[in-house]
Structure 1
């Protein structure tokens, strides 16, 4: 039995079809934890056991983890809470349920940065690494998918790219760093969940095929979209003011700012890309499949 949390999110909606395709060959049953089962396609609901509720709730994870062999763990973003509460606090009930039900293996969505000088002051990343420590401390076999920033973050800029030919961030225009497609993270998770021969606790970097800078992204987007796209760097204090103005928790916003600052200082640059840590989807491919339809629609 594999339990999938956040099955309708960015990663989960790619992971679930992979597991549905492969689970019969592995004689695996699937169970999902979802707040709104109506968001699952009808064909999916017919093939999985559904636990309705939040996987941050003790009673929900107690039901969800009963009889489970493996869990895919993803903390949904909650900008109404400080980072520690949003990650480690949210995971606390699940950690207890993992022990209570003797779950053997957990694959979690986390971040790059462990072991770097900035890891302790990287906001949301620091909170995510603390979540990893909590899960690993239960004694389960744990693999933390250590991810850089996602290509999909650019979907938030689709309107600006369409209307102004501009996307923004706070990092230096020439700083190259790994970036990854969420579909590649889902594929890495599926492989680990289906082949549970691994033991102990470790990180699994998923780094995409190459490092890219904002200027590189602008060039590739311009080529793919057939229109000029340029990058504008925003000051960190402007980002903070904007997000707080949208009503987000101030401590959570500070966590975003601290994460962005750490990334601009090279937080994601500490892992060497190898055939084992690279993932296949290029930014140009992702633009053609995902960004272009969003911008040109």
Structure 2
């Protein structure tokens, strides 16, 4: 039995679809089961509730061999470390109590770099990895850079104004990966019952691109001018707060971007094994363009 957390999110939904297509026995933890497609509810077991709830994870992990662990977003968290680590503690206890053998988690690049100690969400995510690994389960942490799919949050300004914004320099090149490739890697690990030990699994996308590079590719794919605009850090933080983020979450985002600007995502050497396939141009053609049009 494979347990999937956050099955209604971007990654969890794709992982669920892949496992069901492979005929694997799947159990889903869903805060709102009604958000699951009807065909998914028919083919998978569903445990209602939050995967931060001790009773829910104890029930969901009973008889399970493998768990896909994905933290739900909490934009109003008062403490970032607690949002990652404390939320995960009940699951870690249940891994041990219920005899879970393997866990695949969604995490971040940066381990071993000097920037990781003050990288906001990344620092908290790496602490979560350590907590899970400390239970003794076999663990694979998907170590991820920025998601291409995050650009969908700015689909409206891209469409209406031909612009997207962040606080990073436009010429800084960095890796980026597509959600579809993350889900594929996760599903492959979840379906493989042979691995042991604790390892990171980096996914770097096929190339490093700057935000200016991305703007040029979007211009070509969308056939309309798109430009990147860097905004000052304080203005960026203020925008996050206006969007509803707490002070702690907004500050964690700023610290993460500043750590990335300092080289956080460049601690892993690109190899054929960690080069995921979807290019940013392909992602724009297949995902961004329909969203904008």
- The answer to whether TM tops 0.5 is yes
1:196: how far off?
2.2
* 1:129 aligned partner: 126
2:145 to 145, 148, 162: 148
Distance 1:194 1:120 in 2: 33
* 2:81 aligned partner: 84
CA RMSD of aligned residues (A): 0.9
* 1:120 aligned partner: 117
1:235: how far off?
1.2
SS at match of 2:155: helix
Matched, 1:108 2:105: yes
Matched, 1:60 2:48: no
1:169 to 149, 166, 175: 166
1:21: how far off?
1.1
1:205: how far off?
0.2
SS at match of 1:11: helix
Matched, 1:233 2:226: no
* 1:38 aligned partner: 34
1:110: how far off?
0.2
* 1:289 aligned partner: 286
Distance 1:272 1:114 in 2: 13
Deviations 1:155-188 (A, max 9, x none): 1111101111001111111111000000100000
Give unmatched runs, 5+ long, in structure 2: none
SS at match of 2:187: helix
Residue pairs, 1:120-269, within 5 angstroms = 120-269=117-266
Of 107-116 and 246-255, the range deviating more from structure 2: 246-255
Distance 1:247 1:52 in 2: 27
Deviations 1:168-215 (A, max 9, x none): 111111111000000100000011011121111110001111111001
Distance 1:9 1:247 in 2: 19
1:36: how far off?
1.0
Residue pairs, 1:270-289, within 5 angstroms = 270-289=267-286
SS at match of 1:46: helix
Q: Report runs of 4+ in structure 1 exceeding 6 Å deviation.
A: none
SS at match of 1:287: helix
Give unmatched runs, 5+ long, in structure 1: none
Structure 2 length normalisation: TM-score? 0.98
Structure 1 length normalisation: TM-score? 0.97
* 2:44 aligned partner: 48
1:78: how far off?
0.3
Deviations 1:4-49 (A, max 9, x none): 0011101011111111111x3xxx3110000111111111111100
